[in-house]
Chains A and B, each alone.
Chain A
Amino acid sequence: MNVQEFSAMSVNLFDLFGYQFFQYALLGGVIVAVACAIIGLFLILKKEAMIGDGLAHTAFGGVAVGLLLGVHPLLTALGVSVLAVFAISYMRRKKIAASDSAIAVMLALGFSTGLIVISLAGGFNVELFSYLFGSILTIDIVDLLLVSFLGLAVLLFVAFFRRELLSMVFDEDDSRIMGIPTKGLSIAFDLLVAVTIVLSIKVIGTILVVALLVLPGLCALKLNLSFRKTLFAAVGFSVLSTVLGILFSALFDIALAVDIATSGLIVFVLVMFFLLTLVYKKIG
């Protein structure tokens, strides 16, 4: 049974866990939430949070190309994002443009390419919308396998190189002198950022990816913990928001027959957590 057929039925919340589409949604959502929280925390500490927004919008161009060519849109989005992240890095390194300007250039280029491709293809369609705003309840087994594979790559990389990454984010010159291959590590990290963003598109959509990257880390940073605990807290906030967002979305559907975008609810829960951590910091 898919989500459309399910909407027509009346079930209770606990029955939901028995449905395959719901299991896929939860599993895919959790994997993406974990990857985003980890990569996002490093991006915040590097002061490059907006690269997430830039790449997500650029990836939109890739999604449009994929839909036009009949290739899986996440694969074309991955290709475009990887190209964009290297272009940003090149512009920055060669001092062609500062980081924020380089991001703006790629964002504009990617998004405009997307618009041109859509126009050529004959206008917007529902599928394209699902990549713009996310459509977690329609995740199929191919999406889930793709998300799991990419998510695993992110987790393994960070598990092995978290100290080196942290050292590089903290002091790049010193890290280079210490013998850390900062150039290679930067390239690998940039690739992971692109991968993480692409795998988040199905869950939260290109427009709101930046929220899942930035808000969990920001919430965790407000708690004044060690790095290790901050990382776990960020993952906790991210997973909890994603699961709650999915549950609320289903709940609204069942109880009130109101269809609310899951991505909107996930971000709303994240913002609530952020406000709570602000209050905690103020009184704590």
Chain B
Amino acid sequence: MPQPIPILEIKDLNVSRNSEQVIEQANFTVEQGDYVGVVGPNGGGKTTLLSVILNLLPYSSGSIRLFGEDIARFAAWEKIAYISQHATSFESSFPLTVRELVSLGCIRKGNIGRRFMREDWKAVDDSIDFMGLTDVADRRIGQLSGGQKQRVFVAKALARNPELIFLDEPIVGVDSDAQERFYKKLSDLNTERKTTILIVTHDLTSVFCRMSKVLCVNKRVEVAQITEGLDADRLLKRAYGEHFHFVFHKHECTGVFSHER
């Protein structure tokens, strides 16, 4: 069996903000092809953890390695795409069409200030097609439904063919049907393109049914492979508190998404 390739390695990571410890002694690894759900109570440090990994916030001690490189020296940011919590809350009057927004995803270090090549435009159209947005490609992004908006931002991320995608609570304010279609698309992306995905979410059912790993964050970070025998309830109790109760049977996932399309 081939050795899994670590894409993200976190060792003894401590993060403080305003002299308060937010992340304490975090240790985990994300491997190529992983589909990781990041869960935990509000204020538990999920977004902070993501921001530190993306070099948007500093950390106090420990180490972060991306694609085998220490974050301080890491330069291949074009391998990474990030969809923030606020991505879909742009002004509805912002003058961008779906195709224009997705095309912004093709900007990378090597082509700053240069014309896009034919391959770039092909990547744009392929991403729009993959996310099922061809019909609305020329529509303004402010005119899209909540579900379509999320898919546009994933399409934008896909346009430069990233190896790792971070998504921070992308399903807020969207109906359950659109949520399920969104997770289905992410699953396709993970299986068909082998893209590693790390998603912050509160949708525990989707995490345990669709994803390969779960990261529970509440100051301390616990990681678990999602398998048939996983005691999800015990794991989540440590993050959410003893009052929390979650029953999960992996075999019951079949049928949960019966109306997928």
B56 at the interface (CB under 8 A from A): yes
With both beta carbons as reference points, the residue of chain A lying nearest to B56 in the complex is identified as: A173
Asked whether, in the complex, the Cβ of B107 is within 8 Å of the Cβ of A180, the reply is yes
B109 at the interface (CB under 8 A from A): yes
- The total number of A-B Cβ pairs within 8 Å is 74
Asked whether, in the complex, the Cβ of A221 is within 8 Å of the Cβ of B93, the reply is yes
Chain B contact residues, CB within 8 Å of chain A: 54-56, 77-78, 80-84, 87, 90, 93-97, 100-101, 103-105, 107-109, 112-114, 138, 140, 160
User: With contacts A164-B113, A170-B90, A230-B95 known, is A178 near B107, CB below 8 A?
Assistant: yes
User: With contacts A161-B113, A171-B87, A227-B96 known, is A177 near B82, CB below 8 A?
Assistant: yes
CB-contact partner of A226 in B93, B97, B108, under 8 A: B97
Asked whether, in the complex, the Cβ of A171 is within 8 Å of the Cβ of B95, the reply is no
User: With contacts A164-B113, A227-B96 known, is A173 near B84, CB below 8 A?
Assistant: yes
Chain A residues, Cβ within 8 Å of B103? 163
A163 vs B101: C-alpha distance in the bound complex, in angstroms? 10
For chain B, what secondary structure do more than half of its interface residues adopt (helix, strand, loop), or is it mixed? loop
Question: What is the minimal beta-carbon distance from A222 to any residue of chain B, in angstroms?
Answer: 9
Chain B residues, Cβ within 8 Å of A176? 56
CB-contact partner of A167 in B54, B55, B95, B104, under 8 A: B104
Asked whether, in the complex, the Cβ of B108 is within 8 Å of the Cβ of A179, the reply is yes
* Chain A 211-235 interface 0/1 with B at a Cβ cutoff of 8 Å (1 = within): 0000000001100111110100000
Asked whether, in the complex, the Cβ of A170 is within 8 Å of the Cβ of B104, the reply is yes
Question: What is the minimal beta-carbon distance from A7 to any residue of chain B, in angstroms?
Answer: 43
User: With contacts A163-B107, A179-B77 known, is A45 near B94, CB below 8 A?
Assistant: yes
Chain B residues, Cβ within 8 Å of A175? 107
Chain B residues, Cβ within 8 Å of A224? 93, 95, 140
Question: What is the minimal beta-carbon distance from B239 to any residue of chain A, in angstroms?
Answer: 26
With both beta carbons as reference points, the residue of chain A lying nearest to B76 in the complex is identified as: A179
A166 at the interface (CB under 8 A from B): yes
A160 vs B112: C-alpha distance in the bound complex, in angstroms? 8
Asked whether, in the complex, the Cβ of A227 is within 8 Å of the Cβ of B95, the reply is yes
Chain B residues, Cβ within 8 Å of A45? 94-95
Closest 4 CB pairs of A and B: A179-B109, A230-B95, A160-B113, A226-B97
Most buried by A among B55, B56, B112: B112
User: With contacts A164-B112, A230-B95 known, is A178 near B100, CB below 8 A?
Assistant: no
Asked whether, in the complex, the Cβ of A180 is within 8 Å of the Cβ of B112, the reply is yes
Asked whether, in the complex, the Cβ of B104 is within 8 Å of the Cβ of A166, the reply is yes
Chain A residues, Cβ within 8 Å of B54? 177
Chain B residues, Cβ within 8 Å of A174? 82-84, 87
Question: What is the minimal beta-carbon distance from A176 to any residue of chain B, in angstroms?
Answer: 8
Asked whether, in the complex, the Cβ of A170 is within 8 Å of the Cβ of B112, the reply is no
Asked whether, in the complex, the Cβ of B107 is within 8 Å of the Cβ of A170, the reply is no
